Each structure stands twice: as C-alpha cells, then as structure tokens.
C-alpha cells in the first residue's frame, strides 16, 4: 500500500544507495523544499550531510533562528550557519534596480555556498529541493507569466571552474502538497511546512529603492504584525467555514516598504515618516491573484498596530490591485 511511511522508506533507501559512504552538501533556504530534502537526507545519512544556511539577513523576522533551531538541534546533521548579513548589506548599498538586486543576491549566495563547500573534504553530492513542477516548467519562470524574463530566477547553479557534484533530487516526482505532507511526517514544524511562498531575494525586493539595515528592521517588524493578524484571520475563516484553505483564505500576505515619506501627526507632533504597504492576495498557483477582501476590522487592527508598534511608520495603505495587471510582489 501507498502510505506516507512507505514513501519515506523508499526515498530514504534510494538516497542511501545513491550516496553510499560519500558526503552530501545542501543549501538550506528556510523554504519548504530544501527543508524537506534536508530532513529526508538527515534520516537517510545523518552526519554525512552538511546543511549550509546562508543567512543573507533578508529573511522574515525569527526565520533564521527557526532554521537554526530545527537543523542544529532537532536533526542530527552537520549544520553550518553562514552569517553573511553584513556582506549583503554592503553589496546592496545604493542599489535600487530590482533586477540588479536579484542578480547580486543570487551571485553572492553561490559565492558564500561554495566558500563553505571548498572547506569540506570529499563532498561528492549536492542535494536540491527540485520538485516536479520545477521540472515540467523548466525554462519558464516557475510562477510567472509567459516569458522567463518578467523577473529573473537564480536556480541554475553556476559551478566554479573545476567544481562538480552529482545531484540528489529526492523530491523531483512530488507536488508541493505532497512535499508538505512529507515534511510533517518527518517532524518539521508547521511554520516551515506551511510557509508561504517567499522570493529567493527575500525582503530586498519588498523594500522599494535601496536596502538599508534601518529599512530592513522596519519591514521585518511591520511584516511580523501583518502575518500575526492574518494568521488569526485565516484561523477565524477556518472556524467559520470548516475549510482550511477555502476559497477566501488569504494565500499570501506581507508588508512592503516604499521609498517615500509622508506627513502625519502623533500626539502634538508633526511626523514625516514612512508608509507601509499591506499586500494580501487570494490565489491557488500565483499565476493569477485577487486582492483579498479583508474585513475592515482586520485592516483597522493591522493599521493601528503597525503605526503604534513600529517606530518610523506613520501610515498604512492597502494594495487593491489584482494580478494581472500587477504582480504579487512589488519588484
């Protein structure tokens, strides 16, 4: 019979027979796919696996700590946390063009990754979280429109000269839902298993204009409030409808920080501070998306919390544009 345990046993056996006694390296992004591959490989080969987590400082609030907790404590693998936050800030200083940001972030990821790989002896394999839709849609941007040039991706690996690995891709015949189910069965925590889609270049493409430490701090705090409140709202929808991912569940939600300021008043003081944009969409596959018709009380709570709790923000606006013609992300 086709049980989850059976599927895991088969995947584990396949990894063991492919790897033998060799070493495997894997780039952990904090996303579902790479985490599930890591968890599978952990079960199959334990310490023969080195997970490299390149922390670019562009993940959401608390995510790096969570990745570290899971893969340094819960799973028995070799875990390397690369603190590259400062290097990324320096590389991104003054860069405003979205494609330029993506290029810099993607290139630096592989530099950081290979710098670790070089230090390890005898790594023969590279494990990757390629899933089935990545393969059938290869050549076309995963979730975007017709052409691959709408926004660039960086999942093609630019191996340095003389470097090569054999690939391990244990998820290459699974769909996303199945990958999540595997993750749960392997003991990954819900915030990782049910993580929303999140762009590889992270918060850098949710900060319009140049990326600075100050802006990142503001965006992380505002985004954490958006996620908290919309998690509560999704839970409320679930209780009302009995459906976990019903037609009106909010599918992806986050904050965006534009590069403008506006006038406000707090107490008796005039402020000249930043607005935060709330983005919340309903979608099934990210190809099209409709802005979520959130109840006014939810919007009001998010707005008053952000302005009260995040210094430097004096206004909250809601993006009421669907995709197309807008995209889900702002860059």
Q: Which residue positions form the known binding site? A: 29-35
Buried b (16+ CB within 10 A) or exposed e, 96-114: eebeebbebbbebbbebbb
The gap from C-alpha 113 to its chain's centroid, in whole angstroms, comes to 17
Extended beta strands in the chain, E state: 23-28, 49-55, 78-83, 123-127, 166-168, 252-256, 262-266, 269-282, 290-291, 313-318
Q: Which residues are annotated as a binding site for ATP?
A: 29-35
252 binds ligand XMP (CB under 6 A): yes
Find the binder of ligand XMP among 37, 171, 203, 328 (CB under 6 A): 328
Shortest Cβ 51–ligand XMP spacing (Å): 19
Contact 216, 58 (CB under 8 A): yes
197 binds ligand XMP (CB under 6 A): yes
Find the binder of ligand XMP among 128, 143, 234, 303 (CB under 6 A): 143
Find the binder of ligand XMP among 98, 191, 200, 217 (CB under 6 A): 200
201 binds ligand XMP (CB under 6 A): yes
The span from the CA of 18 to the CA of 41, in Å, is 11
Shortest Cβ 176–ligand XMP spacing (Å): 12
Residue 223 parent element (H or E): helix 213-241
- Toward ligand XMP, which CB reaches closer, 9 or 99? 99
Residue 160 DSSP code? P
3-state secondary structure at position 301: helix
Shortest Cβ 104–ligand XMP spacing (Å): 13
98 binds ligand XMP (CB under 6 A): no
The span from the CA of 324 to the CA of 288, in Å, is 6
The span from the CA of 124 to the CA of 18, in Å, is 11
Region of 64-72, 87-95, 123-131, 198-206 interacting with ligand XMP (CB under 6 A): 198-206
153 binds ligand XMP (CB under 6 A): yes
Region of 4-12, 43-51, 58-66, 194-202 interacting with ligand XMP (CB under 6 A): 194-202
Binding site residues, ligand XMP, CB under 6 A? 143-144, 151, 153, 197, 199-201, 252, 286, 323, 327-329
């Amino acid at each position: 019979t086709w049980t989850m345990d059976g599927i895991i046993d088969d995947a584990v056996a396949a990894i063991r027979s492919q790897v033998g006694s060799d070493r495997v390296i894997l780039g952990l992004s904090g996303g579902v796919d790479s985490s599930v591959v890591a968890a599978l490989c952990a079960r199959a080969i334990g310490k023969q696996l080195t997970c490299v987590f390149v922390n670019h400082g562009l993940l959401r609030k608390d995510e790096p700590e969570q990745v570290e907790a899971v893969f340094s404590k819960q799973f028995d693998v070799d875990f390397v946390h690369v603190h590259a936050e400062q290097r990324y800030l320096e590389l991104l200083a003054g860069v405003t063009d979205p494609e330029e940001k993506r290029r810099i972030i993607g290139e630096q990821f592989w530099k950081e990754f290979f710098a670790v790989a070089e230090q390890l002896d005898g790594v023969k394999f590279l494990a990757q979280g390629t899933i089935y839709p990545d393969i059938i849609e290869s050549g076309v941007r995963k979730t975007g429109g017709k052409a691959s040039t709408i926004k660039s991706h960086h999942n093609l690996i630019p191996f340095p000269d003389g470097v090569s690995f054999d690939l391990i891709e244990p998820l290459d015949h699974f769909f996303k839902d199945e990958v999540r189910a595997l993750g749960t069965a392997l003991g990954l925590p819900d915030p990782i298993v049910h993580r929303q889609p999140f762009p590889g270049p992270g918060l850098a493409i949710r900060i319009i204009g140049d990326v600075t430490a100050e802006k990142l701090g503001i965006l992380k705090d505002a985004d954490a409030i958006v996620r908290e409140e919309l998690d509560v709202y999704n839970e409320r929808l679930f209780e009302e409808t009995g459906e976990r991912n019903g037609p009106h569940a909010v599918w992806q939600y986050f904050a965006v920080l534009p590069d403008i300021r506006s006038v406000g008043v707090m107490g008796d003081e005039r402020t000249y501070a930043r607005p935060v944009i709330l983005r919340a969409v309903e979608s099934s596959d990210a190809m099209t998306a409709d802005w979520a018709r959130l109840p006014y009380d939810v919007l009001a709570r998010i707005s008053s919390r952000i302005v009260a709790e995040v210094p430097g923000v004096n206004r909250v606006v809601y993006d009421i544009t669907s995709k197309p013609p807008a995209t889900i992300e702002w860059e």
